[in-house]
Chains A and B, each alone.
Chain A
């Protein structure tokens, strides 16, 4: 992992050079991190595509241990970051669903959420600030590197899940968390499809821990032959003892088994749903013999493993029917959705930010 402050300026200069070069060539500059979630180069549009490799820059620029904040290059992986942060008892509770070595910029750009979303909030709520390279404005900071800020519009949110549409993310300032002092893990599992027993277990576990969050994660995984529910709590020893006693007494749950908080296989799509929608989607997936995971406190659902052609479109439709949002990570990129009522406003902003259209745009057919 690079540790040279000089990288900071190098990254800015390189990004601006790349934007200028793409403009000269009439090309589209597309950020690429670990290359896991994006499939970015396959079908952005008809122009030649120039990749921006964020992994060239992997420095922790600033880390204020007493403030629990860190500014980090977009090309650093979350795993590498957490390894460093652990030295001072801190972490970024990202934990993408399948444990893949995503870069932090890639997580932002593809809108990846992880298994700790229920216990530690969605990842985007941990973003305080970013530096971004923007064609019209150069390298600018959006947000502020403190834990509270209402000075101007929330521009950093423009970069969440928009895959470089408004600029190249260079650094991200994160709100960190302290590593838990103790952990309790409870599981229950069964063969066959997801039934009412799962939801009853989840409900009783939640009811027996009336706090926010009840658990660091409450992860349901389904596979063709059955399901498993894993609850992981973080806190101090007395509270963890209570969790073990309280939850372990229910539904024949096993205690303190070794369970990494990840899903098996490569995640190929992510959805987020209201609670009831999540239940219905998981039941439908279970009946069909699919492999998927869900964090039951946050509404997150992830699909993993090989998907037949067209499967992600079918999943997107299923999720939409139940009030959720969907992001696919298999096959070519199909573009951002732009509601018709907002299209002209977004287009004006896009033109102001990226007058030459050097960055990825969106497609008319993607309009909802």
Chain B
């Protein structure tokens, strides 16, 4: 019996699809430079069905990639050649919100924003907030160790997952982590978070919720130059202020979002804009906001404004969070890069990225998490022009060279996927890569789970 028939026995005939049009729709994720048509797409409805699917595929020697919202920007959920997409969208229940323990028990197909929405009545929220949070899923967030603007103060996904149920490569199931938050003994959960689906498939997760702060203030600071904005960021961090979020957009990025739906009315000649949010006790918020504004003033801020209402704050954030998509308003295609530098090196990093754009004749917009040094250069190009595609890929690698040269890393929150396999090999030494591979080989010795990701073929 064939693999498709066996899969249908596990999940039912309607939950396995092999029609070409549908397979083409699943041939890529949000990293559109890699396309692989899968053998089939399967929708299990329970952890046991996920385990059954994994066992069937193991028996047939067919690799798989688990997929949530498909929003990976590094090709983490790009199908594997000859493989099956295991879609977790039917595992989409919020099973419990426990206000006393500040924990939500959720399935992997739950969309990120649903968690905070469910917890809101208890005055709680789920902190990791990737820009794709309206579409990305908790399972995908765990696989990619997702971040977001508000991770500056509150930490990334790794810091918010307490416990999880997992299906391993051979179909066995177990529970990893602990509700107490600090596992005793060997800690498989910490390896699973950020493993890009290469070690196991999460079928349930217990995520940490936190109280919504009493007060917050959002300050918008417009600068004439990127350097002034960068130096403001460095001084805020060095001054010991830990904002909830500290975001930057440069002129090109602003010119795109100001054509979109959420227009703030930024002046067209600005060099860069900072969006700084502080939260906490009312008195602390007032003090921190005043300090941020004083620092910005010392660095020549041209326009300084504090959100006067929740509506204004929401508009500013909507403007920022739709920046990636807004690139479509000024360019046929765009390629989002993701790298990290030490925060104090921001001014020189941005100057070097500008130089990369000039060298490769590529327009580069910058929208990024300045507070933690997590850069997101947006490389604009026309996908119909093969030469331009090649130049943009070269520029992307050159941007990561800048990050490595300044002592950083090739990914802050998008993962390695297929996109950055060569870049990871440049960041790590050969023994460090061998150590990474040893983990994959130990947990998935037959290379069934999302093979070809993170590592280049040997």
Residues of chain A whose beta carbon lies under 8 Å from any beta carbon of chain B: 64-69, 89-90, 111, 113, 121-122, 124-125, 134, 136-138, 140-142, 144-155, 157-158, 160-162, 165, 177-179, 181, 209-212, 235-239, 241-243, 271-277, 298-299, 323-327, 336-339, 341-342, 345-346, 348-349, 352-353, 362, 366, 368
Give me 16 A-to-B residue pairs in the complex whose CB atoms sit less than 8 angstroms apart, sorted by A's number: A66-B238, A111-B182, A122-B182, A146-B340, A178-B239, A210-B213, A235-B281, A236-B283, A236-B284, A238-B287, A242-B281, A243-B281, A276-B101, A324-B178, A337-B185, A348-B445
Residue B35 at the A interface, CB < 8 A? no
Contact B438 A349 (CB under 8 A): yes
Assess whether B179 is interfacial by the CB under 8 Å rule: yes
- Report the minimal beta-carbon distance from B125 to chain A, rounded to whole angstroms: 10
Could you give, for residues 410-447 of chain B, a 1 whenever the CB lies within 8 Å of some chain A CB and a 0 otherwise?
Answer: 11111110001000100111011011101111110100
Please list the residues of chain B having a beta carbon within 8 angstroms of any beta carbon in chain A: 100-103, 123, 144-145, 147, 151, 154-156, 158-159, 168, 172-174, 176, 178-188, 190-191, 193-195, 199, 210-215, 234, 237-242, 279-284, 286-288, 340-344, 369, 372-374, 407-416, 420, 424, 427-429, 431-432, 434-436, 438-443, 445, 454
CB–CB A149/B238 < 8 A: no
Q: Tell me whether B213 and A150 are in contact (CB under 8 A).
A: no
Task: Indicate whether A150 sits within 8 Å of B283 (C-beta atoms), given known contacts A111-B182, A212-B154, A366-B185.
Answer: no
Report yes or no: B344 in contact with A66, Cβ–Cβ below 8 A: yes
Pairs A-B, 4 closest by C-beta atoms: A178-B240, A337-B185, A157-B190, A341-B174
A325 close to B445 (CB less than 8 A): no
Q: Using known A-B contacts A66-B344, A149-B409, A238-B287, determine if residue A352 contacts B438 with beta carbons closer than 8 Å.
A: yes
Min C-beta distance of B142 to chain A, whole Å: 12
Residues of B within 8 A of A67 (CB): 237-238, 342-344, 373
CA distance A207 to B424 in the complex (A): 46
Pick from A68, A144, A362: contact of B408, CB under 8 Å: A144
- A342 pairs with B284, CB closer than 8 A: no
Is B414 a contact of A64 with CB atoms below 8 Å?
no
Q: By the criterion CB–CB under 8 Å, are B409 and A146 in contact?
A: yes
Interface centre among B156, B238, B369, B415 (most CB of A within 10 A): B238
Given A125-B155, A157-B190, A210-B213, the answer on whether A326 and B408 have CB atoms closer than 8 Å is: no
Q: Which residue of B lies closest to A299 (CB)?
A: B180
Residues in chain B near residue A154, CB distance under 8 A: 145, 158, 190-191, 193-194
> Smallest CB-CB separation from B187: which chain A residue?
A157
- Other than the given A151-B410, A326-B184, 19 more pairs (CB < 8 A) read A67-B237, A68-B237, A125-B159, A140-B435, A144-B409, A148-B340, A151-B424, A152-B416, A210-B211, A210-B212, A211-B211, A212-B210, A236-B284, A238-B287, A276-B101, A324-B178, A337-B185, A338-B185, A339-B174
Please name the residue on chain B nearest to A113 by beta carbon.
Answer: B182
Contacts of B282 in A (CB 8 A): 242
Q: Is the CB of B435 within 8 A of A274?
A: no
Output the least CB separation between A37 and chain B (Å).
15
Given A153-B195, A154-B194, A239-B283, A138:B344 Cβ within 8 A: no
Cβ B193 vs Cβ A149 within 8 A: no
Q: Which of A124, A149, A277 contacts B340 (CB 8 A)?
A: A149
Report yes or no: B373 in contact with A146, Cβ–Cβ below 8 A.
yes
* Candidates B102, B186, B190; contact of A338 at CB < 8 Å: B186
For residue A148, give the distance in angstroms from its CB to the closest CB of chain B: 4
Cα A161 to Cα B373 in complex, Å, equals: 29
Instruction: Choose one: B180, B344, B414; the contact of A324 (CB below 8 Å).
Output: B180
Task: Determine the chain B residues whose CB is within 8 A of the CB of A349 once the complex forms.
Answer: 438-439, 442-443
Contact B180 A325 (CB under 8 A): yes
CB < 8 Å neighbour of A275 from B101, B172, B188: B101
Contacts of B172 in A (CB 8 A): 341
Whether the Cβ atoms of A68 and B238 lie closer than 8 Å is yes
Q: Give the distance to chain B from A302, nearest Cβ to Cβ, in Å.
A: 13
Q: How far is the CA of A336 from the CA of B183 in the complex (A)?
A: 11
Question: Looking across the interface, which residue of chain B has its beta carbon closest to that of A242?
Answer: B283
Find the residue from A67, A211, A276, A353 having the highest chain B CB count within 10 A: A211
Using Cβ atoms and an 8 Å threshold, which residues of chain A touch B193? 154
**Contact of A137 with B432 at beta-carbon distance under 8 Å, contacts A89-B240, A212-B211, A274-B101 already known:** yes
Whether the pair A177, B147 counts as a contact (CB closer than 8 A) is no
- Given the interface contacts A147-B373, A151-B416, does A209 sit within 8 Å of B281 by beta carbon? yes
| Contact A211 B185, beta carbon cutoff 8 Å | no
Distance of A292 from chain B, by nearest CB (Å): 16
A311 to B193 Cα, complex, angstroms: 35
Complexed CA–CA distance, A154 and B427 (Å): 15
Q: Within the assembled complex, what's the spacing in Å between the Cα atoms of A140 and B445?
A: 23
Q: Known: A146-B408, A147-B343, A275-B100. Contact between A346 and B442, CB under 8 A?
A: yes
Known A-B contacts A66-B344, A121-B159; the reply to A345 vs B168 at CB < 8 A is yes
A353 lies within 8 A of B438 (CB): yes
A277 & B180 in contact (Cβ 8 Å cutoff): yes
Separation of A154 and B191 alpha carbons in the complex (Å): 6
Q: Does the CB pair A238–B186 fall under 8 Å?
A: no
The answer to whether A138 touches B179 (Cβ under 8 A) is no
Cross-chain contact of B184 among A150, A242, A298, A327 (Cβ < 8 A):
A327
| Distance in Å: Cβ of B189 to nearest Cβ of chain A | 9
Q: What's the minimum C-beta distance from A197 to chain B, rounded to whole angstroms? A: 19
B154: nearest chain-A partner, CB-CB = A212
B424:A352 contact, CB within 8 angstroms: no
Report whether A238 and B284 are in contact in the complex, using a CB–CB cutoff of 8 Å.
yes
A162 contact set on B, CB distance < 8 A: 185-186
Contacts of A323 in B (CB 8 A): 178-180
Known A-B contacts A146-B341, A348-B442; A211 and B213 likewise in contact (beta carbons under 8 Å):
yes
Specify which of A122, A337, A341, A346 is in contact with B173 (CB 8 Å cutoff): A341
* Bound-state Cα–Cα, A54 to B54, Å: 45
From B147, B176, B342, B442, residue with most partner A Cβ within 10 Å: B442
Q: Assess the A336–B211 pair: CB atoms within 8 A.
A: no
User: Residues of B contacting A275 with CB < 8 Å?
Assistant: 100-102
Q: Are B344 and A137 in contact (CB under 8 A)?
A: no
Do residues A325 and B184 form an inter-chain contact, with CB atoms below 8 A?
yes
Task: Please determine whether A352 and B432 come into contact, CB atoms closer than 8 angstroms.
Answer: no
Given contacts A153-B191, A157-B190, contact A148 B372 (CB under 8 A): yes
| B147, B172, B184, B284, most chain A CB atoms within 10 A | B184
- Shortest CB distance B17–A (Å): 31
B123, B180, B241 interface centre (most CB from chain A within 10 Å):
B180
Within the complex, the shortest CB–CB distance from B129 to chain A, in Å, comes to 14
Closest to B371 in A: A147
Q: Are B179 and A238 in contact (CB under 8 A)?
A: no
Q: Cβ of B441: which chain A residues have Cβ within 8 Å of it?
A: 348, 352
What residue of chain B has the Cβ atom nearest to residue A165's Cβ? B186
Question: What CA separation (Å) do A66 and B199 show in the bound complex?
Answer: 37
Report Cα–Cα, A136/B435, bound state, in Å.
8
User: Contact at A151–B343, with CB atoms within 8 Å?
Assistant: no
